Amino acid sequence: MSLKYAILGLLDQEPHYGYEIKQKFEHMMGDLWPVSYGQLYPTLRKLAEDDLVTMKTVQGKKAVEKNVYSITGTGSSFFSSWLLNQKKKVQISIKDEFTLSLFFLDRMDKYEAQDMLRTKLQELHEKQRKYADEYKLYTDNTPRYKKALTRKMLLHLDAEQKWIEELLQAL
Amino acid sequence: MSLKYAILGLLDQEPHYGYEIKQKFEHMMGDLWPVSYGQLYPTLRKLAEDDLVTMKTVQGKKAVEKNVYSITGTGSSFFSSWLLNQKKKVQISIKDEFTLSLFFLDRMDKYEAQDMLRTKLQELHEKQRKYADEYKLYTDNTPRYKKALTRKMLLHLDAEQKWIEELLQAL
DNA sequence: CACAACATGTAAGATGTTACATGATTGA
DNA sequence: TCAATCATGTAACATCTTACATGTTGTG
């Protein structure tokens, strides 16, 4: 995924502390892009080691300490060049476990295979309903990016569904 | 990805040696799913440690030794239960670097953002042409799975394209 | 003879998940 | 007071990529 770039992008606007980065990120992403502390804090440390960010411990309320991170000049230009390069690469990945499992579809008997694909279609429909409902609830206040993400999910769910329907017909 | 399951699936049909697994897999997958030796051999060792496969060194032509792997009973049932479970999970992931970069679209000026999306669209069209051409070349001898994979790629490229077109219109 | 293809690996690092561990503050 | 939320981390493991290292065999 590269949480690294997400962090740099947030810090490129203003300094943040770790917990806050997780909150902000997940607020934007909903359940589509979770971040674990087990990845967040080591990544922040690594970024500091590489001099892309600096860390400063500040006193919060009473005895609570926060580690506030700021982006450095190096970090900022590193982020910018990454951002500019994104338009040049197409990185659609279709390497998932379900796709792999279809590799072995020939070994099932016809009805078992059909059942598998039909069950999958149902699961896809369910997900689709879920995200479509979520999408309808969005208002003008919903961040533009969150809407776009959900829309992307819906379009790719459509694609997956269409693919499986084609496979089912071919059986 | 879980190369692990791909290996078990191949071995569930008949024993194979490492090099052969890579050849077979990539013959099926084309460039859509490459496998490196740096992952293959350690994975085979791990599977042997976990008693999901057994290894036997056989003499090939002259001085060439091959390590032939066979699936065990444990391995076979482990694979089967994995296979059965695939229909239950929907794992569409939209967590890629480009999607992340759009998170920061608001910080670009309008024309820069439009340029970014248009460049991306061109790249997508190019990829699409490439896979569409490949798809047309497939014959009755082409493994069913390879066709399905390319078709899946084309459908998801469509989805991605549509998404970006929508974003461009919204700008 | 040179080069492609066959055959097997290791080492280092990137990236991510899950589970564990600790402690303060706020609100019901 | 008890639970939720705030706040920071570590350890173990899983997965994968890239680069390096070694040697044989077949073909033009």
| pLDDT, tens digit (0-9, with 9 covering 90-100), for B14-64 | 999 999 999 999 998 988 899 999 999 999 999 999 999 999 999 877 778
Which residue type sits at B143? P
Cβ of A65 near strand D (under 7 Å)? The reply is: yes
Task: List the single best residue of A35, A99, A124, A131 to mutate versus B (max B Cβ within 10 A).
Answer: A99
CA distance B163 to A152: 6
Cβ of A87 near strand C (under 7 Å)? The reply is: no
How high is the pLDDT of residue B151?
96
Torsion angle defined by CA atoms of residues B16, B22, B27 and B32, in that order, rounded to the nearest 10 degrees = 140
Contact between residue B159 and residue A158 where contact means Cβ atoms under 8 Å apart: yes
Residue A62 has pLDDT above 80, yes or no: no
User: For A9-34, what is the mean pLDDT?
Assistant: 94
Q: Closest nt to B66 (CA→C1')?
A: C7
Question: Using H for helix, E for strand and C for coil, what is the string for chain B?
Answer: CCHHHHHHHHHCCCCEEHHHHHHHHHHHHHHHCCCCHHHHHHHHHHHHHCCCEEEEEEECCCCCEEEEEEECHHHHHHHHHHHHHHHHCCCCCCCCHHHHHHCCHHHCCHHHHHHHHHHHHHHHHHHHHHHHHHHHHCCCCCCHHHHHHHHHHHHHHHHHHHHHHHHHHHC
CA distance A80 to A8: 10
CA distance B46 to A168: 36
The three-class DSSP label of residue A48 is: helix
Q: Residue A149 — very low, low, confident or very high, per pLDDT cuts 50/70/90?
A: very high
Could you give the C-alpha distances from B144 to B3, B9, B57, in angstroms and in order?
A: 20, 16, 33
Q: Residue A154 — very low, low, confident or very high, per pLDDT cuts 50/70/90?
A: very high
Q: Residue A89 — very low, low, confident or very high, per pLDDT cuts 50/70/90?
A: confident
CB proximity A103 to B under 8 Å: yes
Residue B120: its chain A contacts at CB < 8 A? Answer: 86-87, 90
How high is the pLDDT of residue A135?
95
Cβ of A37 near strand D (under 7 Å)? The reply is: yes
CB proximity B31 to A under 8 Å: no
Which residue type sits at A160? E
User: For A67-93, what is the mean pLDDT?
Assistant: 93
For residue B13, the chain A residue with the least C-alpha distance is A107
Residue B94 to residue A28, Cβ atoms within 8 A: no
Closest CA to B154 of B131, B122, B126, B120: B131
Q: Closest nt to A97 (CA→C1')?
A: D15
Contact between residue B65 and residue B1 where contact means Cβ atoms under 8 Å apart: no
CB proximity A96 to B under 8 Å: yes
How high is the pLDDT of residue A9?
97
**CA torsion sign, B99 to B105 to B107 to B108?**
positive
Q: Residue A1 — very low, low, confident or very high, per pLDDT cuts 50/70/90?
A: low
Element (DSSP H or E) covering residue A59: strand A53-59
How high is the pLDDT of residue B99?
94
Residue A6 to residue B100, Cβ atoms within 8 A: yes
User: For A111-125, what is the mean pLDDT?
Assistant: 95
Residue B103 to residue A33, Cβ atoms within 8 A: no
Residue A152: its chain B contacts at CB < 8 A? Answer: 94, 99, 159-160, 163
How high is the pLDDT of residue B147?
93
How high is the pLDDT of residue B24?
94
CB proximity B101 to A under 8 Å: yes
Contact between residue B153 and residue A138 where contact means Cβ atoms under 8 Å apart: no
Closest CA to B84 of B7, B146, B22, B5: B5
Q: Which of B13, B107, B160 sits opposite A92 (nearest CB)?
A: B160
CA distance A65 to A73: 26
- How confident is the prediction along chain B (171 residues), in pLDDT tens digits per residue? 699 999 999 999 999 999 999 999 999 898 889 999 999 999 999 999 999 999 999 987 777 899 999 999 999 999 999 999 998 888 898 989 999 999 998 889 999 999 999 999 999 999 999 999 999 999 998 888 999 999 999 999 999 999 999 999 998
Contact between residue A156 and residue B157 where contact means Cβ atoms under 8 Å apart: no
How high is the pLDDT of residue A52?
97
